[in-house]
Amino acid sequence: MSANDLIKVPNSLWHALKSIPIKRAAILQRAKLPASVVTQERKINTEQLFDLWDALESIVGPDIGLELTKTVNVTTLPPSFLVAYHAKDVGEALYRVARFIGLSTCVDVRIAIDGDDCCVTCNWPHAKRAEPNALTDSTYSFLVNMVRVGTGQRITPRCMDLCRSQSTDIQDWFDCPINWNAQEARLVFDRKDLSISFVSYNRELVEMLDAVLDADLQQSKQSKSLTEQVRWHLKRALAAGQPGLRSIARDLAISERSLQRHLKDEGQSFKSLLSDTRHLLACEYLSEKDRDIREVAYLLGYDNQRSFFRAFRKWERKTPTEWRSALVSGPEKVPIDH
């Protein structure tokens, strides 16, 4: 388990589960998790969190993510989520979730404005497999519910992409066009809705929570080695085609020269970290048989397929096609993230 891949299961989840006639022990047993997870005496990693949500879905049903959102009690939310309910407007609330969610879990919530769209997506940098559909439902229904509660209006998204099969309950609750069985999930708000005010706005409370959470966020960042931070930012930047030293240094609020010097002190270089990260992700993507090799090259930030093939030969002494064929015919050693 990576030192940075640690998650506290929030009390709000256990409180919400009280509305469901099933014992926690049964859920933990199905997920193969210890009872100490409930009391937060023990943190879990991303894979174990996914196991927990898989267990919930298999025991309760595919719509468990939405059902939990319907029963969540705002007062049980951790400060990193509670602060968003008291933001000035929809836009501020969404950006606060994106900023502080890392204090509670290892997900990276991205918010991108494109024309009239405000697109929300989630990335799990430590994940080795796809996010469980129930967890996606829970995250997106939480965000929409937060916006509805905060504004006092039944705001609906412009559209959604979900990787799951169709559900009448999900369709009715979100009340927007949904692209089912999509390759990647996303939630899209109307850009004009971002300026709608929250009736629950509390400037004094927000300022107080911001100060505390900012301090916690800074402490969390400082506790990670620069190497770990660079790896994390590289995973984010690769798909966007911006894995360069300059862009990563800008994300870390450090000069390029200082970044190179500190990495050298940790026995690393930016070039080697970029190569290692690409190698890791290449093997993960290629293990997904439905992914086209051209798409893999694009997701890794290569300008063309030829450059990707050349790099992959150096890593594995095989072409991506040969490596994938060997994986199908027998076990293949896949590099493990440091």
Q: Which residue has the higher pLDDT, 106 or 195?
A: 195
Average pLDDT of the segment spanning 40-53: 83
Strands in 159-161's sheet, in edge-to-edge order, are 108-114, 117-123, 186-190, 159-161, 178-179
Q: Which residue has the higher pLDDT, 209 or 2?
A: 209
Mind listing the pLDDT tens digit for each residue in 312-334?
Answer: 999 999 899 988 888 766 544 44
pLDDT exceeds cutoff 80 at 110: yes
Q: Distance (Å, rounded) from C-alpha 321 to C-alpha 134?
A: 33
Question: Residue 202's pLDDT is what?
Answer: 92
DSSP track, 98-120? HHHGGGTSS-EEEEEEETTEEEE
Mind listing the pLDDT tens digit for each residue in 63-89?
Answer: 999 999 999 888 888 888 889 999 999
Q: Distance (Å, rounded) from C-alpha 164 to C-alpha 182?
A: 7
Mind listing the pLDDT tens digit for each residue in 12-40?
Answer: 888 888 888 778 888 989 999 888 787 65
Sole residue written with tokens 């063309």: 304
Average pLDDT of the segment spanning 234-251: 78
Q: Distance (Å, rounded) from C-alpha 160 to C-alpha 168?
A: 14
pLDDT exceeds cutoff 70 at 4: no
* Burial of residue 271, with CB atoms counted within 10 A of its CB: 0-12 exposed, 13-18 middle, 19 or more buried: exposed
Phi/psi at 108 (5° precision) = -110, 110
